[in-house]
Amino acid sequence: MIDVSTTPATNKTGPASRRRTYRPNAQYIPVLATLSLLIVMYTFGAVSYENFTHPSVLLNLFTNNAFLLVVAVGMTFVILTGGIDLSVGAVIAMTSTVAATLLQAGWPAGVVIPVVLLVGGVLGLGMGAVIHFFKVEPFIATLAGMFLARGIALLINQNSIPITNEFWTSIAETRIVFEPGVYISGMALVALAVVAVAAVVLAWSRFGRNVYAIGGNADSALLMGLPVGRTRIGVYTLSGFCAALGGLIYSITTTSGYAGHGTGTELDAIAAVVIGGVLLTGGSGYVLGTVLGVLVLGMINTIVNFASLNSWWARMAIGVLLFAFIVLQRLVTRKAK
């Protein structure tokens, strides 16, 4: 007879409980760092520039970056599974062009919106299917998606197409005005709604948890009987959908469709996600972090504007921040091991 009740239990809880204390903190470190950075930047702006503390500055961060926020949320899901989606910028171009073209052809807005979202979702679905079924690297598959989407946009029309549809122009003007000059646009509210839904899905749905599981260890997830294929394809579909929604928002705020829209958006989205503390290898991070990441990018641009600096300073600053946060990620994961 082997007595098992005593020794092993003492063996194992010892080291475990010792480590328990700092561990939960480690998961929040990146998000907290981003938050403090945001506060520091805001304080810097407030001290250095007149009018920086005006409430419109903060609200405009959301209004101006609504499309990026939506795209970055989709990207968050993809990166949480350990993948990447390079096609989002091109999907913005494609969807804005398609929307503008259809509206010009006299289609009603109520039809155009679902069609455009469907197009984005289907492209994502296709990329996800190629990634999953043929084990093609996400990097390459979404690169193909990027070429395809941008190419289709250019084939449809190489010029900027103005949108005159009433619905479009009217929602572009929709805003909640707090006081004169201080408002939040309807599109920003749409973006925030997307954020809220995404946060709930990630924390409280099986799909969301499966996303984390796949990012942690896809092989294990498969052996644990999780629907890895469905989840992975779902994530890219979601990202395609978000990018299409981002494209719609872009076309609404600019009231135009153009194949040149969204150039480099994939980089901004990835940067926002990384600065927001989502681990690039997958499995760890929060939508809230991504929101903070987008706000940091927006804040950089705002400060560069206030300082009337050239826009390349913003690129440099984003590069430096990326570096800092990536090193931080490195340190945190190293400690966890």
Partner 1 sequence: MTLQKILKSRLMWPVAMLVVLLLCALIFSDGFFDIRIQDGHLFGTPVNILRASAPLVLVAIGMTLVISTGGIDLSVGSVMAVSGAMACLIIGDLSNQNSVGGVAVAVVAAIALSLVLGLWNGFLVAVLGIQPIIATLILMVAGRGLAQLITSGQIINVQSSPYKVIGAGYVLGLPVSVLIAAVVLAITVLLTRRTALGLLLESVGGSPVASRLAGIQARRFTVMVYIASAACAGIAGLIYSSNVSSADGNNAGNLIELDAILAVVIGGTALTGGRFSLAGTTLGALLIATLDTTAQSVGIPPEATLVFKAVVVVVLCLAQSATFRAMLFRRSTPRPAARAEVPA
Partner 2 sequence: MGEPPAVLEMTGIQKIFPGVVALDGVDFRLLPGEIHALMGENGAGKSTLIKVLTGVYGIDGGDIKLSGRDVLFTGPLQAQEAGISTVYQEVNLCANLSVAENIFIGRQPRRFGRIQWSEMRKRSAGLLARLDLDLDVSAPLNTYSLAVQQMVAIARAVDIEAKVLILDEPTSSLDASEVAQLFAIMRRLRDSGVAILFVSHFLDQIYEVADRITVLRNGALIGEYRTAELPQVELVRKMIGKELATLEQLESRPRESAEQIERGEPILRAEQLGRDGAIAPFDLTIHAGEVVGLAGLLGSGRTELARLLFGADKADSGKLELDGKPVSMRSPRAAMAHGIAFSSENRRTEGVIGELTVRENIILALQAARGWTRPIAKRRQDQLVGKYIKALQIRPDNPEIPVRNLSGGNQQKVLLARWLITEPKLLIIDEPTRGIDVGAKAEIQRLVAELSSGGMAVLFVSAELEEVLRLSHKIEVLRDRRLVEELDNTGDVDADRIMRTIASGATS
Q: Would you give the distance in Å from CA 255 to the centre of its chain?
A: 23
**Nearby residues of 106 by Cβ (< 8 Å), 6 or more positions away:** none
> Which residues contact residue 258 at a Cβ distance below 8 angstroms, ignoring those fewer than 6 apart?
93, 96, 97, 100, 159, 160, 161
What are φ and ψ of residue 71, in 5° steps?
A: -65, -40
Among 121, 145, 276, 277, binds partner 1 (CB under 8 A): 145
Least Å from the CB of residue 217 to partner 2? 5
- The alpha carbon torsion through 235, 238, 240, 245 (nearest 10 deg) reads -160
> In whole angstroms, what is the distance from residue 100 CA to residue 118 CA?
15
In order, the DSSP letters of 206-240 are HHHHHHHHHHH-HHHHHHTT--HHHHHHHHHHHHH
277 contacts: CB under 8 Å, gap ≥ 6 = 29, 30, 31, 33, 34, 285, 286, 289, 292, 293, 325, 329
Residue 54 has φ and ψ, to the nearest 5°, of -55, 135
Of 7, 106, 134, 312, which one interacts with partner 2 (CB under 8 A)?
7
**Residue 32 interacts with which of partner 1, partner 2, none, CB < 5 to 8 Å by class:** none
270 binds partner 1 (CB under 8 A): yes
Q: Is 159 in the site for partner 1 (CB under 8 A)?
A: no
Per rule CB under 8 A, is residue 135 in the interface with partner 2?
no
Q: Based on the number of CB atoms within 10 Å of its own CB, is 216 exposed (0-12), middle (13-18) or buried (19 or more)?
A: middle
Please give the sequence-ordered ranges of beta strands (E in DSSP) within 100-154, or none if there are none: none
Count of residues near partner 1 by CB under 8 A: 43
Among 104, 201, 227, 315, indicate the residue that binds partner 1 (CB under 8 A).
Answer: 315
- Tell me if 228 contacts partner 1 by CB under 8 A: no
Minimum distance of partner 1 from residue 287's CB (angstroms): 20
Interface with partner 1 by CB under 8 A: which range of 10-18, 102-110, 127-135, 224-232?
127-135
Q: Which is nearer to partner 2, 17 or 311 (CB)?
A: 17
Nearer to partner 1, 137 or 173 (CB): 137
Least gap, CB of 326 to partner 2 (angstroms): 18
The count of C-alpha atoms lying within 13 angstroms of the C-alpha of 213, restricted to the half-sphere facing its C-beta, is 19
Among 108, 310, 335, 336, binds partner 1 (CB under 8 A): 310
Assess contact for 224 and 119: CB atoms under 8 A. no
Cα–Cα distances in Å, from 262 out to 51, 68, 81, 295?
Answer: 30, 9, 24, 18
Asked if 25 touches partner 2 (CB under 8 A), the answer is: no
Distance separating alpha carbons of residues 122 and 247, to the nearest angstrom: 15
Beta carbon nearer to partner 2, 13 or 43? 13
* Contact region with partner 1 (CB under 8 A), list: 95-103, 212-220, 239-247, 307-315: 307-315
Binding mask 196-215 for partner 2 (x = CB under 8 A): -------xxxx--xx-xx-x
223 binds partner 1 (CB under 8 A): no
Q: Which of the residues 37 through 96 are near partner 1 (CB under 8 A)?
A: 84
CB of 193 to partner 2, least distance (A): 18
Under rule CB under 8 A, residue 296 binds partner 1: no
Residue 95 structure tokens: 């969807």
Q: Residues in the site for partner 1, rule: CB under 8 A? A: 84, 130, 133-137, 139-141, 143-148, 150-152, 154-155, 158, 259, 267, 270-271, 274, 280-281, 310, 312-316, 318-320, 322-323, 326-327, 330
Q: Residues in the site for partner 2, rule: CB under 8 A? A: 2, 4-5, 7-9, 11-13, 15-17, 19-20, 23-24, 27, 203-206, 209-210, 212-213, 215-217, 219-227, 283-284, 336-337
